Amino acid sequence: MNNFVIVSKDADFHQRSLLYGHPPKFIFLRIGNSPTSKIVPILRDNLNIIKQFTDSQEESILVLV
């Protein structure tokens, strides 16, 4: 089994995670239509939260705004 995490702004992945759980884990970026230059700082600023999320056995969805 791999430890991949999907990062997306697409609500379809959010629905899939709600229906089927993980794997894979899913980080849902609720930031609308944004360029990579806006997405990268959000991921960097939340690195500790993302690390805790990936280490968790229970959580399957992380929402970042």
16 CB contacts (<8 Å, ≥6 apart)? 26
Its domain, for residue 44, covers 5-64
pLDDT classification of 12: cutoffs 50, 70, 90: confident
Sequence-ordered strand ranges (E) for 1-65: 5-8, 25-29, 61-64
**Count of domains in the chain?**
1
pLDDT digits (tens, 9 = 90+) for 38-52: 999 999 999 999 999
Mean of all residue pLDDT scores within the chain: 89
